[in-house]
Structures are given as structure tokens and as C-alpha cells.
């Protein structure tokens, strides 16, 4: 009897877990469908975009390091600091909740420095922010937070990352949850213990010289180009659609 009861309990738990996966997939497909409908209606919900082609850093403000605008890109160089960071002036962005930030990042292979680059979100101060991006030098996608100035990775995924190559990163923010996508494919998801949607967005590198381009901030699941969720595996279509944001 005890074995039957245990088997029944395990079967019930397995069914609950299966249904949770089904529900999660349905939610994602509904979001994709909503975005596609918005595309067909001609809605482009980007609330801020910058490609630096005018050699102007737009709404970005330097926090630490010595950023430079070169060849239509924002080059982050820590200079005498260990951290290089620029954040978006929040007055340039409307009130928001569920949001995503897109950026193209190149972590250059330069002797004597690390290779990494991060989208910054929930920025409160130079020692209090959260980040998502690439540690190309160690072949890891990461999500983390800075506590008292120390950057701590809270979620990681091992995968080969080509140093110096351009990667389109997205940070999806909803309530306490951050989802990191690379070239339209989900890599990591992490739920924090506190809301993460009330700070500023930005870009950062840690002991590294990193190039940023094609930065866009937009509502999450409010309609956008289909490249932002790339289920087709078509890199050319993905790149062409991203270009339409700028």
C-alpha cells in the first residue's frame, strides 16, 4: 500500500511539472503571437535607440572609466578604474515596467585585459546594479549583481564565445525576473529577490575594452520586430530586422 501511495504521489508531481512546462510554452507562444500581430499592424514600440553613427553618445552618461566614441561605436575603456560604465539618462525613457534592452557587444581580444561586456539594468549607483552579458575570456554567458561594488555572477552558462565578434544581446525584465537572449536565443533566466525594474539601463565592461552599438530600449511583449525572438535560425533575417530598429 505504501508503495502504491508513493508511486501515486510521484506520478502526481510529475504531471504537475509537465503541466507547468506546457503552460510556460503556451505563455511564450502567446507572447510571440502578440508581437507578430503588432508587427503586422506596423507598431514599432522602441522608446529609445542609439547607433552612435553621429559620433554622439546620445542619452548615455559616463559613470566610471573613459568611454570614447570611435567609428560609430561606444568604446568602453576602464582607464584607471577596474570598471567602465555608461548609463542612460532615465529622463529620456518613459515610465515603464516590463522592459527589454537590446545591444550589440564586441569583447575585443586585447593582451593584458579581460574580454567581457554587459548590459546593465536596475542601476542605482556605481556599486549597486545588475548585469547580463558575456565573459568571452572564460566562454560564459552570465547574469549577476554588484553588491557593495563587487560584481557577483548569480547564473552562468558555458558556451564558446568568439572574442571580437559581434553578439546581439537582449535583457528582458519582468517583475523580479531577468532573461538573457543572445542572437534571439534564450541563454539564461534568473529571478532576483527584489524588483529589478526601477533602476537605469546602461552598458559596462570589467577590466576589459569593449565596443557597444545598436542600443535599443522597448516594452517587453508589446510588439516589435520578429528578429527579437528568433525561432527561424535565419541569421540574415535576424540582422536585417534588427537594423530596422535604428
Tens digit of each residue's pLDDT (9 = 90 or more) over 41-53: 444 456 788 888 8
Per-residue pLDDT at 34 exceeds 70: no
Mean pLDDT for 71-89 is: 89
Average the pLDDT over 3-26 and give the result: 78
Region 164-179: what's the mean pLDDT? 91
Most confident option among 6-10, 28-32, 77-81, 146-150: 146-150
Q: Is the model's pLDDT at 95 over the cut of 80? A: no
- What are the percentages of helix, strand and coil residues in the chain, rounded to 5? 25, 45, 35
pLDDT confidence tier of residue 177, bands split at 50, 70 and 90: very high
Query: Which pLDDT belongs to residue 220?
Result: 75
Is pLDDT above 50 for 79? yes
Distance CA 144, CA 232 (A): 29
Greater confidence (36 vs 208) lies with: 208
Highest-confidence segment of 24-28, 145-149, 152-156, 221-225: 152-156
Contact assessment for residue 65 and residue 78, using Cβ atoms and an 8 Å cutoff = yes
The per-residue pLDDT for 114 is: 92
More confidently predicted of 227 and 100: 100
Decide which of 226 and 64 is more confident: 64
Q: How many CA atoms lie within 13 A of 126 on its CB side?
A: 12
- What is the helix (H) or strand (E) element at residue 243, kind and residue range? helix 235-243
CB 182 within 8 A of CB 142: no
Its pTM surpasses 0.95 = no
Q: Report DSSP letters for the chain, one per residue.
A: -HHHHHHHHHHHHHHHHHHHHHHHHHHHHHHHHHHHHHHHTT----SEEE--TTS--TTEEEEES--EEETTEEEE--TTSSEEEEEE-GGGS---SSEEEEEEEEE---TTSB-EEEEEEEEEETTEEEEEEEEGGGTEEEEEEEETTEEEEEEEEE----TT-EEEEEEEEETTEEEEEETTEEEEEEE-SS--SSSEEEEEEESB-EEEEEEEEEETTS---GGGS--S--HHHHHHHHHTT-
Q: What is the pLDDT of residue 12?
A: 81
Amino acid at each position: 500500500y505504501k508503495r502504491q501511495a508513493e508511486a501515486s504521489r510521484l506520478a502526481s508531481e510529475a504531471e504537475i511539472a509537465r503541466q507547468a512546462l506546457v503552460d510556460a510554452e503556451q505563455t511564450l507562444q502567446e507572447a510571440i503571437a502578440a508581437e507578430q500581430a503588432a508587427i503586422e499592424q506596423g507598431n514599432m514600440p522602441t522608446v529609445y535607440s542609439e547607433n552612435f553613427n553621429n559620433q554622439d553618445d546620445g542619452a548615455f552618461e559616463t559613470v566610471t572609466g573613459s568611454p570614447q566614441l570611435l567609428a560609430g561605436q561606444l568604446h568602453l575603456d576602464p582607464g584607471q578604474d577596474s570598471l567602465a560604465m555608461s548609463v542612460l539618462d532615465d529622463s529620456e525613457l518613459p515610465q515603464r515596467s516590463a522592459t527589454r534592452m537590446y545591444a550589440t557587444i564586441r569583447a575585443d581580444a586585447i593582451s593584458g585585459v579581460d574580454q567581457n561586456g554587459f548590459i546593465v539594468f536596475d542601476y542605482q549607483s556605481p556599486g549597486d546594479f545588475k548585469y547580463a552579458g558575456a565573459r568571452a575570456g572564460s566562454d560564459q554567458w552570465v547574469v549577476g549583481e554588484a553588491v557593495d561594488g563587487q560584481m557577483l555572477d548569480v547564473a552562468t552558462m558555458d558556451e564558446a564565445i568568439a572574442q571580437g565578434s559581434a553578439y546581439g544581446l537582449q535583457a528582458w525584465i519582468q517583475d523580479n525576473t531577468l532573461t538573457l537572449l543572445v542572437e534571439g536565443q534564450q541563454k539564461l533566466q534568473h529571478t532576483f529577490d527584489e524588483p529589478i525594474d526601477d533602476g537605469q539601463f546602461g552598458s559596462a565592461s570589467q577590466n576589459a575594452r569593449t565596443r557597444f552599438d545598436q542600443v535599443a530600449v522597448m516594452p517587453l511583449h508589446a510588439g516589435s520586430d520578429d528578429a527579437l525572438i528568433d525561432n527561424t535560425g535565419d541569421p540574415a533575417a535576424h540582422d536585417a530586422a534588427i537594423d530596422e530598429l535604428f
